Chain A
Amino acid sequence: MAKDNFIIRIGGDTAVGGVISTGDNFAAAAARIGFRTFTFRTYPSEIKGGHAWFQVRISNKPVYSLGDGCDILIAFDQHAYELHQGDLSQNGVLLYDSDLVQPSPNGNIIRYGIPFQKIARQELEFVRGTNVLILGVMAGLFGLPPASLKEMVKTRYKRRAELMEKNIQALDYGYEYTKTIQKEDKFWLGTADHVARLIMTGNDAITAGALHAGCRYFAGYPITPASDILETMASQLPRFGGVCLQAEDEMAALASVIGASYAGTKAMTATSGPGFSLMTELLGLASMAEIPLVIVNSQRSGPSTGMPTKLEQGDLFQALYGGHGDFPRIVLAPASVQNCFRVSVLAFGLAEKYQCPVILLSDQSLSHRTETIGHVDTDVFPVVDRLRPDGVDPETYLRYQYTDDGVSPMAIPGLDSHTYVAPGLEHDERGHPQLSPEVHERMTAKRFRKLDTARLEIDNEELCPRYGDDQADLGIIGWGATQGSIREAVDRALAAGLKVAAMHPRVLNPLPEERLREFVSSVKHVLVPEVNYQGQFAHHLAANLGVQAIRLNKIGGLPFTPGEIYNKIEEVLVHA
């Protein structure tokens, strides 16, 4: 029986090129006709050269993670073969360049060796067409209708007729070539539902969410894996009356975001861990002067320069506690590409409402992977604007007025006549320097009170969903991009008769304490999987809720697979 749900992995050297683009094109073509896709990519941080690999999981049903191992391995070279062949599933397929790869005999896999480079050079006289040739072969072998690939090639080269023709030739050659191959595997896509879906990366969704929320000022300093947010903002913001600044460093980026927001414009910056470290200098000012703003930190493996192109959930402590002094900030973590959009809109809503910095923690895998996402319902994501001193007498206006919810009206220069100085110094209600013990205590409490108010609106099912068995023995609490792997592990456990459930809060500070407490008290064991060494979220839960969780930590720069989490579930519930 044909299998229309499989994982393709492509590996090769970036000096030759095309590993990522071949995979991306195949995924996009499949998504275009209605398949759900979930991609993962990892590449060296060298400019040219070094091993890169790309993976796409394709299915007729929703997919939530990169999956376990791969069913089809496309090896551009011997190194790719050696590195990945151990991950190939039973009866998986190895498609390789027969001049460059010498596979060892293995009875459990199906091999198709094709001299890709030789064909491109001798038959097509178009060496750069190797990738498109491979795409044609993939389409023919695994049942992807070539029409959708052809459309993509035509769009891409619409202004370069000669290149378009050569690429179409290569694509056709590859597709026709497969007719000479005796197909022995069972992987075949066939047809999908043709429902229009979007194919986006996490960074695409974060940026779209920000624009929808009304972000009209962006400043950033280039850094992997956040640079594409800067690039998109640079090209898009001017079209909607906004401004994007490539700042001289991350301190300047955040400083100018503080300035823009002070002046009344919704503002954001995006960076990764090393840049966020620099920004923590100004985080305190934003919290002290109560300036709404959003900082995206797309985490990568650290410390120091670390592994710039690999993921890690290593900046949670920095997001929660980074900076000098004692001050509130809100920390969010989207759980999927689709969720990036929602959490990005939420980030602006919370920033504007509670006039404080909001940190959105993404990571390398989430920022750069693509997912097919369904309809984006904009109505359910309210756009929020800050409280202004309308109707307040400018003479008696108190910018930092003590209020029950901690929120005070914020005047905008040029628009409001309620002048005030946004202070880095401790201050009285007017904003004037006031360093008495009583005022510092009262003002600190006022600022933190905003988190208590915010907690009330985030402690709900939508922002802290629960998944799985209602009477679970084991409860998994995850954060960020691990959601999909956890969900699929839970599905597997439920199918195996294990009583498991998962909770995945999108807001990490303030925590949705009521829902988490209820969840924790309803299970016998709590498991916290996270891609870091110290168990930073487990620490956070222990500190705030007194939860003593079983930890599952992974570092090394790759995301959790569902299998790794499932194995831990088994270990706790079956072998304990």
Chain B
Amino acid sequence: MPDGAKVARAPGAEVISVKEYKSGDKPIWCPGCGDFGVLSATYKALAALQLQRHEVVVVSGIGCSSRTPYFLSTFGVHGVHGRSLPIATGIKLANPALTILVMGGDGDLMSIGTGHFTHAAARNIDLTCVMMDNQTYGLTKAQSSPTSFLGHKSKSTPYGVVAKPINPVLFALASGASYVARGYSARPNDLADIIAGGIRHPGFAFIHVQSPCAEFFNTYDYYDEHVESLPPDWDAHDLKAAVDLALTEEKRHLGVIYEEERTALSDAVRKFEPDTKQFDLTAYLQRFS
């Protein structure tokens, strides 16, 4: 049966397999790239939620991780460097019924797109933003990124990085993200749960994924040692505790760090006028008479 025909099927009539979310295009990533783990977790999350492929839009900017939309059989936009979030904002506001995933890297979301990140979070755009943080620029080959460690030497920072690394979780919390989580690409099953949780969350979900670049900045050993699951009794509704945790740099905590219920922009704007009507030009022009 052709894939396309299955979207017309009644929900629940037949289980959509993980495989059906794959486009068939082979990822262009290097062997060992963390993004493979994130992609696999994404397929699993979509299958876990049994989302119809034609009701999902995966939006990205530019970078290694931003190639992701081509590897999914859903709708997608491979946009402009840094602008994935405003593109996704327009899609969501135009059709709130769609499930939106924004996939990108630390350069896309924490450098060129920083200004958009904070506003998408503050507006509580109902989407799931998965940031694959490899702390380097992969596509342009090994320059430093805004999340590179202090002192990190790269082709663009031969004397070492002087800027304090941006803390994505802290930044997301400060910006007003209503779901903030962290995952690790080497733990794709946990990450699939976190992504599914983000999709279910009715607001701006930010998922910071440590996703090492095997080619230019291999941090697998570092993160194997530094990641730690959140304590089982973690209260994800405590903003101050979440901020304190984000400030703890010795360990990278995995799991849902913060969650709050807040009206999403796409819902709020539709309540401005409870009774909408058809536009009638003759009636509209009366104001100018």
Chain A interface residues toward B at CB < 8 A: 196-200, 204, 208, 211-212, 214, 216-217, 219, 236, 238-241, 243, 245, 247-249, 251-253, 255-265, 267, 281-282, 284-285, 289, 376, 378, 393-395, 397, 411, 413-414, 416-425, 432-433
Contacts and interface: CB of A to CB of B under 8 A. Distances in A.
Main SS class of interface, A: mixed
B75 A421 contact: yes
A275 B107 CA distance: 24
B288 to A, nearest CB: 4
B90 A240 contact: no
Given A211-B279, A421-B70, A243 B75 contact: no
A392 B62 CA distance: 31
A395 B90 contact: no
A488 B54 CA distance: 56
Contacts of A281: 80, 83
Interface stretch (B38-46, B93-101, B146-154, B181-189): B93-101
20 contacts: A197-B289, A208-B284, A214-B279, A239-B276, A240-B278, A240-B279, A245-B90, A248-B119, A249-B115, A252-B86, A252-B115, A255-B86, A255-B87, A256-B86, A259-B92, A259-B94, A260-B94, A267-B90, A281-B83, A419-B76
Contact of A211 (B62, B94, B276, B284): B284
B13 interface: no
Contacts of B8: 417
B276 to A, nearest CB: 4
B4 A256 contact: no
A248 B118 CA distance: 10
Contacts of B278: 240
Nearest to B279: A240
Nearest to A416: B54
A414 B98 contact: yes
A413 B98 contact: yes
Contacts of B74: 419
Contact of B2 (A252, A261, A394): A394
B273 interface: yes
Contact of B98 (A200, A243, A247, A263): A263
Nearest to A244: B269
Interface of B: 2-5, 7-8, 25, 53-59, 62, 69-70, 73-80, 83, 86-95, 97-98, 115-116, 119, 269-270, 272-273, 276-279, 281-282, 284-285, 288-289
A212 B279 CA distance: 7
A417 B4 contact: yes
A403 to B, nearest CB: 21
Contacts of B3: 394-395
A256 B87 contact: yes
Given A258-B79, A413-B98, A238 B273 contact: yes
State the 10 A-B residue pairs at the shortest beta-carbon distance, nearest first: A394-B4, A259-B90, A256-B90, A255-B86, A421-B76, A252-B86, A260-B90, A260-B94, A263-B94, A265-B94
Given A211-B284, A248-B119, A252-B83, A419 B54 contact: yes
Contacts of A420: 75-76
